[in-house]
Amino acid sequence: MDRTVSYEGHRRPLTSFQVTVLGDGAVFVGLVANHSVVDGTSFWHFFNTWAGLCRGEPVQPPDFSRNFFGGSTAVLRFSGRDGPAVTFDASAPLRERVIHFSAASIRGLKAAANRCRKSNEDDEVKGKLVHDLKVQGGCGEISSFQSMCAHMWRAVTRARLQLAADAKTTFRMAVNCRHRLRPKISPVYFGNAIQSVATTATVAELASHDLGWAAARLHATVVAHEDGAIRKAAADWEAAPRCFPLGNPDGAALTMGSSPRFPMYDGNDFGWGRALAVRSGRANKFDGKMSAFPGQAGDGSVDVEVCLAPDTMGRLLCDDEFLQFVSHAPSP
């Protein structure tokens, strides 16, 4: 099923698992899942429920209700016999590295983002920025995830030397809609309840402002994605259904997937001990694709799997401003 892209879901499995016992007794669990069917929240609930059953512990059943948006009549149409196709060049050269941020670095990034933002607000205390942030409800604390994303956004954009100063860059991330809809959806709703949200800024804007500025923009996008915005996105999709156009066509985009908050180590002990590592496979990877994972130690550290064009990766791993928050990075 690796890299399967088709409308074969009626005949082919929506998920498959492969368990490999290695020579030294270590166990490797590999899997694929159809992302139309589950998002990360549902996937980890499923996986950890499975592990819980193996340990003989009580489990919380998922919520299979399907009554949030009414019956959809949307149909995806494709011409002839062709189904959906990959929307990026899957053969383009790509380098992938796992960047480790220690818990102290994550705290440092969050403190830096909130500190610079506070001083930005003080400078413009009667100005429009503060007003806009308030209108968007953007005055709450910037999260550590948003701070880390802003750090990646700025650093990767610095490393993309081919971009003009006035080029527009886009940072995409997924928002969990469960607790944002009114009425709320159960946290154990089984399905895909994420939407992708985009934040934009020009290369020059990112370069001339500090970390707090970029982090505040990401924060404002997420805060604004409440019930009304979610329902509008769903209605827009109903009116013009399409497959999600994954990729980076203008070379100026970043897409953050997964989340350091998913319980990838706490809760999925099958009775063999704590997992040693969680990694994603090779599907859906392109220049600018990143996936966030909690650190294995469970101490608040974060691993970010970063995919970039080879030149960009080379420059990123030599960028001192970037590396000051990185605990250990592979050599360039």
Ligand X SMILES: *[C@@H]1O[C@H](CO)[C@@H](O)[C@H](O)[C@H]1NC(C)=O
Q: Residue 181 or 243: which CB sits closer to ligand X?
A: 243
Residue among 34 and 296 whose Cβ is closer to ligand X: 34
- Cβ at position 90, least distance to ligand X in Å: 15
CB of 40 to ligand X, least distance (A): 16
In sequence order, the 6+-apart residues with CB closer than 8 A to the CB of 331 are 317
Q: Can you say whether residue 74 is alpha, beta or left, with left for phi > 0 and alpha for psi between -120 and 50 degrees? A: beta
Judged by CB, which is closer to ligand X: 7, or 78? 7
Q: For ligand X, which is the closer residue by CB, 30 or 298?
A: 30
Nearer to ligand X, 37 or 224 (CB): 37
Nearest to 288 by CA among 269, 312, 265: 312
Q: Which residues bind ligand X (CB under 6 A)?
A: 4, 6-9, 12, 14, 34, 36-37
**Radius of gyration over every alpha carbon of the chain, rounded to an integer in angstroms:** 21
Query: What phi, psi does 16 have (nearest 5°)?
Result: -150, 150
Tell the smallest beta-carbon distance from residue 81 to ligand X (Å).
14
* Residue the block writes with tokens 């959806």: 185
Encoding tokens for residue 131?
Answer: 């007003």
Residue number, 13 or 310, with CB nearest to ligand X: 13
Residue 5 CB, nearest approach to ligand X (Å): 6
> From the CB of 125, what's the least distance to ligand X, in Å?
50
- CA 258-33-256 angle, to 5 degrees, is 20
Q: Tokens 């706490």 map to which residue?
A: 266
| Nearest residue to ligand X, scored by beta-carbon proximity | 9
State the DSSP code for 10. G
To ligand X, the closest distance from the beta carbon of 248 in angstroms equals 22
CA distance 232 to 238: 10
